[in-house]
Structure 1
Amino acid sequence: MTGAATAAVELPFAALSGLALLPVLAWPRGRHAVLRTVFAGARRLAELERARIRIWLGYPVAPAYEDARALRYVSVRWALGVLGAIVMLSVVFGVAYGTFWTYGWLLVDVTHPGSVAIGTLGGLFLLFLAVQGIFGVAELERQLAQRILGPSHQDELERRIVELAESRAAVVDAVHDERRRIERDLHDGVQQRLVALGMLLGRALRSREAEHVDRLLRQAHDESRQALGELRDVAWRIYPTALDEAGLSAALETVAERSSVPVLVECDLEEEPDKTAATVAYFVVCEAVTNAVKHAAPSRIVVRVGTEDGFLYVCVQDDGCGGADPKGSGLFGLARRVAALDGLLNVISPPGGPTLVTAELPCG
Structure 2
Amino acid sequence: MRTLATRTVRFTAGCALGAATAVVELPLVLLGGLVLLLAGARPGTARGVPGPVRAVAAALLAVERRRLGRLLGIRIAPAPDDARALRYLAVRWTLGLLGGAVAALVLVGIAYSSLFVYAWWLDDIAYPLAVAFSNLGGLLLLFLACQGVFGTVMLEEQLARRLLGPSHHDELERRITQLATTRAEMMEAVDGERRRIERDLHDGVQQRLVALGMLLGRARRSHDPAHADALLLQAHEESRRALVELREVAWRVYPTVLDEAGLRAALETVAERTPLPVRLDYTVPVPPPRQTGTVAYFVVSEAVTNVVKHSGATRVEVRVGRDGDRLLLRIQDDGTGGADPAGGGLTGLARRVAALDGRFGVHSPAGGPTRITAELPCA
> Same fold judged by TM-score > 0.5?
yes
| Equivalence map 1:299-338=2 (5 Å) | 299-338=314-353
Q: Is the 8 A contact 1:300 1:319 kept in 2?
A: yes
Distance 1:322 1:80 in 2: 43
Conserved 8 A contact 1:8-1:78: no
Which one-letter code corresponds to 1:51 in the other structure? A
Quickly say closer, same or farther: Cα 1:39–1:139, change in 2 above 3 A: farther
Q: Return the letter of the residue paired with 1:49.
A: A
Match 1:39 to one of 44, 47, 52: 47
Give the counterpart of 1:161 among 163, 176, 188. 176
In the TM superposition, residue 320 of structure 1 has moved relative to its aligned partner by 2.3
Q: 1:272 to 1:286 in 2, by over 3 A?
A: same
Shift of 1:141: 8.6
Give the aligned partner of residue 245 of structure 1: 260
Aligned-CA RMSD value: 3.6
Correspondence for 1:3: 25
Cα separation, 2, equivalents of 1:203 and 1:172: 45
Residue 55 (structure 1) aligned to one of 55, 63, 68? 63
Matched, 1:263 2:278: yes
The residue identity in structure 1 corresponding to 2:309 is K
Shift of 1:244: 0.6
Counterpart-to-counterpart distance in 2, 1:248 and 1:63: 35
In structure 1, the gaps of 5 or more residues are 22-34, 88-134
Matches within 5 A, 1:215-294: 215-294=230-309
Post-superposition Cα deviations, 1:79-124, rounded to whole Å, max 9, x if no partner, equal 969x98xx9xxxxxxxxxxxxxxxxxxxxxxxxxxxxxxxxxxxxx
Determine if contact 1:204/1:217 at 8 Å carries over to the other structure.
yes
Distance 2:370 2:85 in 1: 43
> What per-residue deviation string (whole Å, max 9, x for no partner) do you get for residues 141-166 of structure 1?
98666533431122112111111111
Retained in 2: the 8 A contact 1:297–1:320? yes
Conservation of the 8 A alpha-carbon contact between 2:78 and 2:166: no
Once residues 137 and 13 of structure 1 are traced to their aligned partners in structure 2, the CA distance between those partners, rounded to angstroms, is: 31
Q: Indicate the larger mover: 206-215 or 56-65.
A: 56-65
Once residues 9 and 302 of structure 1 are traced to their aligned partners in structure 2, the CA distance between those partners, rounded to angstroms, is 51
Q: Secondary structure at the match of 2:322?
A: strand
Contact 2:320 2:330 (8 Å CA) reproduced: yes
Which structure is larger by alpha-carbon Rg, 1 or 2? 1
Aligned match of 1:175: 190
Question: How many residues end up aligned between the 2 structures?
Answer: 303
Deviates more, 1:316-325 or 1:220-229: 316-325
1:47-74 residue CA offsets vs partner (Å, 9 max, x unmatched): 5323223336735887643466578x39
Counterpart contact for 1:42–1:67, Cα < 8 Å: no
- TM-score between both structures, scaled by the size of structure 2: 0.69
Report sequence identity in percent.
Answer: 55
**Preserved contact between residue 323 and residue 349 of structure 1 (Cα < 8 Å):** yes
| Distance in structure 2 (CA, Å) of the matches to 1:67 and 1:345 | 28
Q: Is 1:358 paired with 2:373?
A: yes
Structure 2 equivalent of residue 16 of structure 1:
38
1:185 to 171, 177, 200: 200
User: Is the CA contact (8 Å cut-off) linking 1:301 and 1:316 kept in structure 2?
Assistant: yes
2:312 is aligned, of 285, 289, 297, to 297
* C-alpha displacement of 1:339: 0.7
Aligned to 1:77: 90
Distance in 1, matches of 2:53 and 2:160, equals 13
Deviation (angstroms), 1:46: 4.6
1:109: which partner in 2?
A: none
Whether contact under 8 Å (2:335, 2:367) holds in the other structure is yes
TM-score, structure 1 length as denominator?
A: 0.72
- Contact 1:53/1:142 (<8 A) preserved: no
SS in 2 for 1:39: coil
